[in-house]
Chain A
Amino acid sequence: MSETTIAPAPTEVVVPTRRWSGQNVPRKEDKRLTQGEGVFVDDVKRHGMGYVHFVRSPYAHAHIVSIDLSKAEAVKGVYGTLTGEEVAALTDPFFQLATDPGAKLKDYALAVGRVRYVGEPVVAVVAETRELARDASELVEIEYEPLGAVVDARTAQDAGTEVLHEDAGTNLMWEGVYEWGDLDAAFAEADRVVKIKELHFHRFNSTPLECDGALVEYNRGTGQWTIHTNNQFPGFAVIMMGPAMRCGLDKLRFVTQDIGGGFGNKITSHPQLVACCLLARKLNRPVQWTEWRTDFHLSMSHGNERWFHDTEVAVKSDGTLLGFRTKALDDAGAWLRYEPLGGVIWAQVTPGMYRWRNIRLEFTQVATNKAPVSPNRGYSRMQHL
């Protein structure tokens, strides 16, 4: 066996840690959390704040023909609304992490002209109470013209399949090849080759006990927003939001305290945060958004569905795995948001997790009419490792 094809066995290094190991280390946050004195996002209140409720798409794929807000806005206690048309006028699309064709997507905080997954926010309604906001939302009348839905990533690129994003012109969002080590040598050295036609990992949704949320204030004097939120990656949210909102990052001040579980789902709430920012400015009052559990399950950042096709694994008779080649296919859902990092990072961490040293990954990611995905319980879809 050549020494270059297999990583050496990890050397165990034992550092004396008597001061800490085997000891019960008290957590400084336990006292307040056990006494009901935590500060989670829904606990934050401001005088005169309005509650935000999102009207969501009941269709997987449809044109928005018309939106009638008159009945909702006539309800006593409703402070105002926000539509995709307003968002498109007031903001620029979020920049994309993907290269072309995914880079061409025009992703906004609310659906503009078209909905692409069940649960996609179309209109935001703000009212005096959360109950009123929800009731008034049901009075928003939206006429849709349904389109064919793309639900299987494996056929998303077939001729005649509905294309989600006309700007991209294809349902292919991103593709990339990752090579590591010397695969030819690994297969030459193998005693046998294991071939697997298809491996399938279904879409899933990690479920923190606390849903997403924010309380957003706008200061007219300084033009700065203060965003109390349980978004678990404000550094990412702010670089997405600033350019879209045409403001400097210093105008977006994030405050995060206790978070009731994140699991990755709470990385990609930046579209909702933008909607809240626009509403706080438009209505000149703090706005509060706490996602309902049903909304969370419908649409907040699922774990992506992935296939591995035509996988070949070079193995030794003693069970040593020398390397593999595979074609990975990701169902990214309707928008890329944090993607294609699910594929990119997976490709980077695969050799780190195990002693694999010879790898060829051909990654493809496509758009489908499902909720966008994000990391879910582990960086880059650990379930697939």
Chain B
Amino acid sequence: MADLSPSRAITVTVNGVEYEREVEARKLLIHFIRDDLDLTGSHIGCDTGNCGACSVIVDGRLVKSCMQLAVQADGATIETVEGLSEDGALTELQQAFSDHHALQCGYCTPGMLMSATALLRERPSPTEDEIRKALQGNICRCTGYWNIFEAVKAAGGSA
């Protein structure tokens, strides 16, 4: 029988937990995170790197995890939406999303939160233009952009 799926072992640290897994060489990082590690907070919207629902932070850099193979993340430290808050309490950014009605169906929200988190680490008090630029890679089909912008602005202390 034909074997279409050569694989190799990788080690990654996700939200502070180290995982060692055998993965198919062609498996995307997002499918590895969702299917193999069962961290289903990061989502898939477009399969093409356009929507940003799969955004995670890899070694401190914001990455669309559908645009990277899992094997490329070997040795990496990854942060996903599940790792944002501690002890179940919402972070300031997550609370701002709720306060400003920055989510409706919630499907794009994890990606939005990761993009905003990456921005706020680099620019704790971003300008409006910087917020818009940071979110330009994330699509919300409930079209709640304005409220998402307001939430990030509030979390950045410039509301």
What count of chain B residues pass the 8 Å CB interface test?
A: 48
Of the residues B40, B47, B51, B90, contact of A42 by C-beta under 8 Å: B40
Collect the chain A residues with CB atoms within 8 Å of residue B152's CB: none
The chain A residue with its CB closest to the CB of B111 is: A209
B142 at the interface (CB under 8 A from A): yes
The chain B residue with its CB closest to the CB of A77 is: B5
Collect the chain A residues with CB atoms within 8 Å of residue B110's CB: 36
Q: Is the CB of B43 within 8 A of A260?
A: yes
A76 at the interface (CB under 8 A from B): yes
Q: Is the CB of B90 within 8 A of A31?
A: yes
Q: Is the CB of A35 within 8 A of B84?
A: yes
Q: Is the CB of B103 within 8 A of A36?
A: no
Least CB distance, A145 to chain B, in whole angstroms: 29
Given A33-B103, A209-B139, A45 and B45 contact (CB-CB distance below 8 Å): no
Given A45-B38, A209-B141, A210-B43, A136 and B4 contact (CB-CB distance below 8 Å): yes
Give the residues from 1 to 47 in chain B that come closer than 8 angstroms, CB to CB, to chain A. Answer: 1-5, 24, 26-27, 31, 34-35, 38-47
- Quick one: which of B48, B106, B141 has the most chain A CB within 10 A? B106
Given A34-B94, A258-B106, A75 and B4 contact (CB-CB distance below 8 Å): yes
Of the residues A38, A258, A260, A292, contact of B47 by C-beta under 8 Å: A292
Q: Is the CB of A260 within 8 A of B107?
A: yes
Complex alpha-carbon distance, A30 and B103, angstroms: 8
Q: Is the CB of A260 within 8 A of B105?
A: yes
A293 at the interface (CB under 8 A from B): yes
B63 at the interface (CB under 8 A from A): no
Given A35-B84, A43-B40, A294 and B109 contact (CB-CB distance below 8 Å): no
Collect the chain A residues with CB atoms within 8 Å of residue B113's CB: 34
Give the residues from 3 to 36 in chain A that come closer than 8 angstroms, CB to CB, to chain B. Answer: 24, 26-27, 29-31, 33-36
Chain B 83-113 interface 0/1 with A at a Cβ cutoff of 8 Å (1 = within) = 0110010100010011101010111111001
Least CB distance, A39 to chain B, in whole angstroms: 8
Complex alpha-carbon distance, A29 and B109, angstroms: 12
A355 at the interface (CB under 8 A from B): no
The chain A residue with its CB closest to the CB of B100 is: A24
Collect the chain A residues with CB atoms within 8 Å of residue B71's CB: none
Collect the chain B residues with CB atoms within 8 Å of residue A135's CB: 4
Complex alpha-carbon distance, A353 and B125, angstroms: 46
B53 at the interface (CB under 8 A from A): yes
Of the residues A35, A38, A40, A136, contact of B85 by C-beta under 8 Å: A35
- Quick one: which of B26, B43, B84, B99 has the most chain A CB within 10 A? B43
A132 at the interface (CB under 8 A from B): yes
Given A24-B99, A30-B97, A293-B48, A129 and B5 contact (CB-CB distance below 8 Å): yes
Collect the chain B residues with CB atoms within 8 Å of residue A27's CB: 98, 101
Give the residues from 49 to 91 in chain A that come closer than 8 angstroms, CB to CB, to chain B. Answer: 71, 74-77
B120 at the interface (CB under 8 A from A): no
Known: A35-B41, A35-B85, A258-B105. 5 other contacts (CB 8 A): A35-B94, A132-B4, A261-B105, A261-B141, A263-B141
A residues lining the B interface (CB < 8 Å): 24, 26-27, 29-31, 33-40, 42-43, 45, 71, 74-77, 129-132, 135-136, 207-211, 258-261, 263, 290, 292-294
The 3 closest A-B pairs by CB, nearest first: A36-B41, A260-B107, A33-B106
Q: List 6 A-B contacts (CB under 8 A).
A: A34-B109, A35-B88, A42-B44, A43-B34, A71-B2, A293-B47
